[in-house]
Amino acid sequence: MNELVKGILNAKFTADVTRRHFVQGASGLATLAALPSLASAEVGGPLNYFGWDGEHGANVAKEFLASNNIQYQPSFQSSGDEALTRFNTGGRGTIDLLTPNKDFQKTILAAGVELFQPLDMARIPNAAGLFQAFREAPWLIKDGQVYGVPLIWGDEPCVYNPAKWDAMPAKYTDFADPKYQGELVVLDDPFGNIWLFAKSIGAEDPSRLTAAQLEQAVAALMTVKPNIVTIGASFADMADVLVRGDASIGIGGWAYQAQIGKEKGVELKVASPATDGTYYWSDSYAIALDAPNVDNAYAFIDFMTSAESNAAIAAELGSGCTVEKAYELTDPGLRDLFPYDYVRQPGGGILGTQVVFPPQEPDGDIVPASAWVEAWQAFKLA
């Protein structure tokens, strides 16, 4: 079956097909592959998703959802940590699936805050096919229990319009050059932006800043502010600004934005400042505590973790795949964007060690996340 699928997908890649056709084809095949394992599961009825737009996988899982009579009800978060707010303000007992990123999930698990339930990995047999770094992801494991199944991964590069720019500068602070006036858009994300500029000014660990370092990072951001057109409310909003031509460079973007641009007839490229680089992330499927439709959630996660589904969702979102066999099914142009050597090693290399979120509480001289949020608000107001 796998050879057949691989052959068909390869044929599709070499043919002149659209991404949508690929996704539809792959999802159909993946549904066929997943059906036998679902025979004994009690699936059907609602499945409530709260997470990133796109990662709900409704396109990829279309036939799977229909054939299992699952009514998928996705709603979307505007920031990576919104799930906790939703959960604590009436969402508990109504949400099944979440898509936390690694830093958020690590912080929540370390703090012992109630949000995720430990997973019964026997119900997700396809998870055995994950890259080693994702099978044993330290940010998903607490007290020997696993709390998430990685879906995609990637970095936060600059997304730019090649009609205006040939390349990105070496450092984020270089964006202060007046030639970028009226050309920049950033995401409304205190942690990502401050982290990038703290890195740019030479902070040793940009996630752990003293008050003075935080001030310096925000001062560096301030030098760039005159060139920023707007602060995107979400990745999709940022992409909209780029597609409309209101800005030509998105700092701290997502390769998915280039896909959105492509769909709307605007070519966008991705690259990171060569000296400063960027940070890496990975988003996982997790099941919320007191989820009302656990069987559907397990069946869905297992389906989405098959090689074919994982390749399809990675292609759809312009991101790295997390399943080893999905790598072969992924377009070479896409997979060359990401350093897969990291995820083939235990711990995930930089993916496992790099931290973006600051600590929740002060730690000696190190200021907490709330100070970052306040500094970001002051930056926006200035």
Partner 1 sequence: MPAGGYYALLFGVPMVGLFVLSFLRAQGFEVVVDFSFANYEKIATSPLYQKLLVRTIRVGIVTAAIVVPMAFALSYLMRFVFERRGQLILQLILLSLFSGYLVRIYAWRTILGKQGLLNSTLQWLGLIDEPLAFLIYSDYATIITLTGILLPLAVLPIHSAMANITRAHIEAARDLGSRRLHLIRTILVPMALPGVRAAFAFAFLLAAGDFVTPALVGGTGGLMIGNVVADQFKGIGANWPLGAALAFVTLACVLVLYVVIVRAIRRVTMW
Residues that bind partner 1 (CB under 8 A): 79-85, 89, 104, 107-108, 111, 113, 182, 188, 190-191, 225, 228-231, 233, 237, 240, 244-246, 357-358, 360-361, 368-370, 372-374, 377-378, 380-381
Distance in angstroms (rounded) separating the CA atoms of residues 147 and 155: 22
Distance in angstroms (rounded) separating the CA atoms of residues 304 and 323: 10
In the chain, the amino acid numbered 13 is F
**Cβ-contact 304, 313 below 8 angstroms:** yes
CB of 368 to partner 1, least distance (A): 7
Residue 68 vs 282, nearer CB to partner 1? 282
CB of 142 to partner 1, least distance (A): 15
> Residue 350 corresponds to which tokens in the numbers above?
């930089």
CB of 75 to partner 1, least distance (A): 14
Distance in angstroms (rounded) separating the CA atoms of residues 269 and 252: 13
Residue 120 vs 246, nearer CB to partner 1? 246
Residue 7 vs 245, nearer CB to partner 1? 245
Residue 229 vs 271, nearer CB to partner 1? 229
Dihedral sign, CA of 215, 219, 222, 224?
A: negative
Residue 10 vs 370, nearer CB to partner 1? 370
CB of 218 to partner 1, least distance (A): 12
Residue 32 vs 373, nearer CB to partner 1? 373
CB of 138 to partner 1, least distance (A): 19
CB of 230 to partner 1, least distance (A): 4
Between the alpha carbon of residue 208 and those of residues 19, 218, 356, the distances in Å are: 40, 14, 9
Distance in angstroms (rounded) separating the CA atoms of residues 206 and 192: 10
What is the number of residues in the chain?
382
b/e map of 311-326 (b: 16 or more CB within 10 Å)?
Answer: bbbbbbbbbbbbbbbb
320-321 β-sheet, strand order? 70-76, 45-51, 97-98, 280-287, 149-155, 320-321
Residue 125 vs 368, nearer CB to partner 1? 368
CB of 188 to partner 1, least distance (A): 7
